[in-house]
Structure 1
Amino acid sequence: MLFNSFEFFAFLSIFLVCFFLLPRRTQPVVVLVASYIFYIGWRPAFALLLAFTTIVDYTTALVMGATDRAALRRAAMITALTINLGILATVKYLDFAISNVVGAAGFFGYDLPQYALSLVLPVGISFYTFQSVGYTLDVYHRRVPTESNLLTYAQYVAFFPQLVAGPIERAAHMLPQFRRAHLPRQENLSGLWLIAYGLFKKMCVADTLAPVVAGIYAHPGNFSGSYTLLATIMFAIQIYCDFSGYSDIARGVARLMDFELMVNFRQPYFATSLTEFWRRWHISLSSWFRDYLYVPLGGSREGERRAIRNIIIVFVLSGVWHGAAWAFVIWGALHGLGLAAERLWRNIVGDADGKNARCRSILGWMWTSVIVLTGWVFFRAGSLDNAIAVFATLRHFGPLDYGTFKTLGLASFEILLLILNLFILVAVDYYINFRPEQLHRLSERIYLPVVGGVALMYYIVLFGVFGRLDFIYFQF
């Protein structure tokens, strides 16, 4: 069930009526049943796997909470992590591992038969697995108490607004919200604006750019560097609007329900360093890797060499998290090396200040843009061969032809509409980033977010792309 479908909004309307009109003691059951109905829409077997994961993590957490014996607590923690990460590794990486073993054997002269299990990747498994693993580690390290109520914990794992593409929430933030009653508060109507803005990003920007990016990246050798560079910039906008749009809708739906999800994006393309970019992009994942991998590895406590090693390990694994392909590994390694270079540079020259601050910010933005766009080539290409083919086109540039864009789905009206939509996107993100106090004053007038959300919905109905296009991060 896609957020950008009429079915979802029919489902949401029925859910909200049931959620707020039925007795408050039934709210947890309504949330859980609705979450599983939402997830079953993809495939019933996915829901069985989700339920299995929930029971395993709930049970092992109870064991950790019921004993002070270190060995038993460690055994329960390892059991939960082995099952969670083992399932994820099997469905997501086993075929990739097999193909690489076969390829390596062939390189050394051993002819092994090609074999693939072709397992179906459950939607959102990377997201809810990391959320469950986070809970297990928090209970083990006694950062949060064990949740004794299975219904409460099951809601935390399966909460439908953020189930399939995040944000990856923390138990300390969400479990208390599942324990309290929820009321239809007037201030929660601001969720309508978040939903509308998220749909605008997805249906008016990302899905308008999608066919152009797909057409050029499908056969990069047929285009000059002018087209592949433009397609890469378009993809940077597309993936931002697609993913942050999903996060906005998730936050808006949750807010209508009287829940609050974390902010997952903070206008990352305004960042003036790669370090700042990762404080703004997919915040829930980058903070997860920081807290559950980078810090346990030693963080920056053991000197610069260890810190740089840890950064590179974290980002290589971040690339692996995104997909079973070497292109994703290189994408992660590129960002890890870029962050390591920034760290070394800051140690040499210090932070920007005084008269040179503005100049260094501009240069920092340019540096960040180059690394991010280079990384997006690997990310979008999906394979090393395709990425190399894209980079090969950059040896020669030529003029852009209107007829080519018309063939790819951008005729004159669509181009003018896209320019308008990009202007709206940049203007709103600019005010969110640089003039937040003005937006905060406007949001305090309850009717303005509601009116703005309704007006934007009407605009989307008129000019949005309707075609049930999946969100990009569903594949992860």
Structure 2
Amino acid sequence: MVFNSIDFVFFFPIVYFLYIIGTKRYQNILLLFSSYFFYGYWDYRYLSLLFISTVVDYFSSLGIVRSTSPGRKKFFLILSLASNLGILGFFKYFNFFSKSTTELLNHFGFQADSFTVNFLLPLGISFYTFQTMSYTIDVYKGKLEPTSNFWDFALYVSFFPQLVAGPIERATHLLPQISKQRILNLEETSRGVFLILLGYYKKVYIADNLALIVDPIFNDPSSSGSQVLFANFVFFFQIYGDFSGYSDIARGLSKMLGFDLMMNFNLPAFSLNVGDFWRRWHISFMSWLRDYVYFSLGSKDSSELRKNINNLIVFFLSGLWHGANWTFVIWGTICGFINLGHKYLSPYLPSSPKNRVARVFYLMGAFFLTINFISFPLIYFRSPSVEIAWMHNKAILLNFGSLDPKLITKFVKNIFFLMALEVYMYNTDDEFAIFRLPVYLRVAFYLIFFYSILILGNFANDAFIYFVF
């Protein structure tokens, strides 16, 4: 089930009505049942994986705190990591590594046939696996006391608004909200409705309409270099609308239910530089890699070389997490080198001028350059294979060609209103700055949202891009 489907339009109001009339204990049971129904609606067979992950991490965490020896504590941690990464590795990466190994052996003259398994990638497995692992790791490090309530923990793992595409929550943030009585109020409900409308606007109007520009260019082998570069730039805004739109809807639904999920995107189009961008983009995932991978590699007290290598490892793993394809690995690795390049060039870059007018032009230039640096490796992210990505790269170098100005006009018209709204959010440093406006202006915003979604929206594609990750 996806947020922008007719099924969900009927599903959530029913759940919400039953939710608001119940007590906390009843609410949690309802949400747990609803979450399993939400996930099982896609393919009920994969509910077993969700349940296995829940059981393993629940009992592993209890085993850690009840163990008296360090070795036994480590055993339960390894049990959790091996189980979670084993399931993730088998379902997401088995075929990828099997094919890659076979191709490598054949390249060196060995005769080998790849063995692959035909199954669907479980929806959201990369997201909920990282969420459950962080729980056990935090318990092992003494940062968190494990919950003794299995059903609360099961809801933490399966909470349907953020189950399949994040944000990847931390137990220290979400579990206390599950265990306490939640009081619904008009302010948070209003903010939730705003986030839901904004999310649908980003997905149906922004992302899915921009796909009509991006897809024909990337799917055409004869596309010129200028078309590919433009489509690559537009794809940044498409994936931003798609992914941040999902996160906004997830956070909005959660607010209506009395929960506060972490912000996953903080106006990434307004990043001053590459480093700033990665602090604003997919925040829950990038902070997860920082806390559980980068710091675990000993980066705090390491040499400069070691920190740089660890940085590349993190971005390499980021690419691999996104998909079992060398295109994602290359994308992540390039992003790592770009990040390192910024690290060493930043001392030589001009600082923001004090003059207000000059500062506006400085910021506009910084935003534009940052988006271009981030967009550059997206050729690999968007292409289905390395060969096709290389074909597009050759077009940029050897067949630059021309670009239809109508495409630029269409793109600008599509993102203009969202960018204007985000400029206001950026200047006020408040994602809910719309509530500072007079009522009649807020009504105008909502009418624009409704009109753009229902009349101008593209409903041909209901899938979210990050569902495949």
Tell me the TM-score range normalised by the shorter chain.
Answer: over 0.9
State the TM-score, normalizing by the size of structure 2: 0.93
Show the 5 A alignment for 1:81-160: 81-160=81-160
Partner residue of 1:397 out of 390, 400, 403: 400
Deviation at 1:57, TM superposition (A): 0.5
Q: Is 1:434 the equivalent of 2:445? A: no
SS at match of 2:27: helix
2:205/2:452 contact within 8 Å kept: no
Q: Which amino acid aligns with 1:429?
A: E
Partner of 1:379: 381
Partner of 2:467: 474
Deviation at 1:23, TM superposition (A): 3.4
2:124/2:165 contact within 8 Å kept: yes
Q: Is 1:202 the equivalent of 2:195? A: no
SS at match of 1:463: coil
Deviation at 1:465, TM superposition (A): 1.3
1:193/1:449 contact within 8 Å kept: no
For residues 424 and 106 of structure 1, the distance between their equivalents in structure 2, rounded to whole angstroms, comes to 53
For residues 439 and 259 of structure 2, the distance between their equivalents in structure 1, rounded to whole angstroms, comes to 18
For residues 143 and 321 of structure 2, the distance between their equivalents in structure 1, rounded to whole angstroms, comes to 25
Deviation at 1:462, TM superposition (A): 1.6
**Larger displacement relative to structure 2 (19-28 or 239-248):** 19-28
For residues 270 and 421 of structure 1, the distance between their equivalents in structure 2, rounded to whole angstroms, comes to 18
SS at match of 2:127: helix
Please list the CA deviations of residues 292-335 of structure 1 after superposition, one character each: whole Å capped at 9, or x if unmatched. Answer: 01011112422211111110110001100001111111111111
Please list the CA deviations of residues 110-138 of structure 1 after superposition, one character each: whole Å capped at 9, or x if unmatched. Answer: 11123321232101000000001111100
For residues 450 and 147 of structure 1, the distance between their equivalents in structure 2, rounded to whole angstroms, comes to 43
Query: Unaligned regions of 5+ residues in structure 1, if any?
Result: none
For residues 281 and 166 of structure 1, the distance between their equivalents in structure 2, rounded to whole angstroms, comes to 13
For residues 467 and 231 of structure 1, the distance between their equivalents in structure 2, rounded to whole angstroms, comes to 20
Deviation at 1:467, TM superposition (A): 2.6
2:316/2:332 contact within 8 Å kept: yes
Q: Which amino acid aligns with 1:181?
A: Q
Q: Which amino acid aligns with 1:464?
A: G
Partner of 1:27: 27
Does the C-alpha gap of structure 1 residues 445 and 98 become closer, same or farther in structure 2, counting only changes over 3 Å? same
1:327/1:379 contact within 8 Å kept: yes
Partner of 2:415: 422
1:20/1:183 contact within 8 Å kept: no
**Larger displacement relative to structure 2 (2-11 or 136-145):** 2-11
Q: Which amino acid aligns with 1:215?
A: P
RMSD of equivalent CA atoms: 2.5
Does the C-alpha gap of structure 1 residues 131 and 444 become closer, same or farther in structure 2, counting only changes over 3 Å? farther
Show the 5 A alignment for 1:217-232: 217-219=218-220, 221-232=221-232
Does the C-alpha gap of structure 1 residues 474 and 360 become closer, same or farther in structure 2, counting only changes over 3 Å? same
**Larger displacement relative to structure 2 (353-362 or 325-334):** 353-362
Partner of 2:246: 246
Please list the CA deviations of residues 182-227 of structure 1 after superposition, one character each: whole Å capped at 9, or x if unmatched. Answer: 23311122211100011001000110121332222122x3121222
Partner of 1:333: 333
1:58/1:153 contact within 8 Å kept: yes
Q: Which amino acid aligns with 1:127?
A: F
Q: Is 1:352 the equivalent of 2:351? A: yes
Please list the CA deviations of residues 416-458 of structure 1 after superposition, one character each: whole Å capped at 9, or x if unmatched. Answer: 6x64431111111111112336953725989976884466234
For residues 259 and 459 of structure 2, the distance between their equivalents in structure 1, rounded to whole angstroms, comes to 29
Q: Which amino acid aligns with 1:390?
A: H
**Alignment length, in residue pairs?**
464
**Larger displacement relative to structure 2 (24-33 or 276-285):** 24-33
Please list the CA deviations of residues 340-369 of structure 1 after superposition, one character each: whole Å capped at 9, or x if unmatched. Answer: 1222224x5488366799587666545533
Show the 5 A alignment for 1:165-184: 165-184=165-184
Q: Which amino acid aligns with 2:135?
A: Y
The percentage of counterpart residues that share the same residue type is 38
For residues 117 and 287 of structure 2, the distance between their equivalents in structure 1, rounded to whole angstroms, comes to 33
SS at match of 1:427: helix
2:156/2:174 contact within 8 Å kept: yes
**Larger displacement relative to structure 2 (352-361 or 144-153):** 352-361
SS at match of 1:400: coil
Please list the CA deviations of residues 376-420 of structure 1 after superposition, one character each: whole Å capped at 9, or x if unmatched. Answer: 1110013211111111111333333489x7xxxx9xxxx76x644
**Larger displacement relative to structure 2 (129-138 or 337-346):** 337-346
**Larger displacement relative to structure 2 (44-53 or 78-87):** 44-53
2:161/2:253 contact within 8 Å kept: yes
For residues 137 and 96 of structure 1, the distance between their equivalents in structure 2, rounded to whole angstroms, comes to 28
Please list the CA deviations of residues 78-114 of structure 1 after superposition, one character each: whole Å capped at 9, or x if unmatched. Answer: 0000000011011111111111111111111111123
**Larger displacement relative to structure 2 (197-206 or 349-358):** 349-358
Does the C-alpha gap of structure 1 residues 97 and 457 become closer, same or farther in structure 2, counting only changes over 3 Å? same
2:64/2:139 contact within 8 Å kept: yes
Does the C-alpha gap of structure 1 residues 21 and 334 become closer, same or farther in structure 2, counting only changes over 3 Å? same
**Larger displacement relative to structure 2 (460-469 or 4-13):** 460-469
Does the C-alpha gap of structure 1 residues 304 and 353 become closer, same or farther in structure 2, counting only changes over 3 Å? farther
Show the 5 A alignment for 1:71-82: 71-82=71-82
Partner of 2:10: 10
Show the 5 A alignment for 1:55-70: 55-70=55-70
2:210/2:414 contact within 8 Å kept: no
Does the C-alpha gap of structure 1 residues 86 and 287 become closer, same or farther in structure 2, counting only changes over 3 Å? same
Q: Which amino acid aligns with 2:139?
A: V
Does the C-alpha gap of structure 1 residues 92 and 461 become closer, same or farther in structure 2, counting only changes over 3 Å? same
SS at match of 1:260: coil
Partner of 2:267: 267
State the TM-score, normalizing by the size of structure 1: 0.91
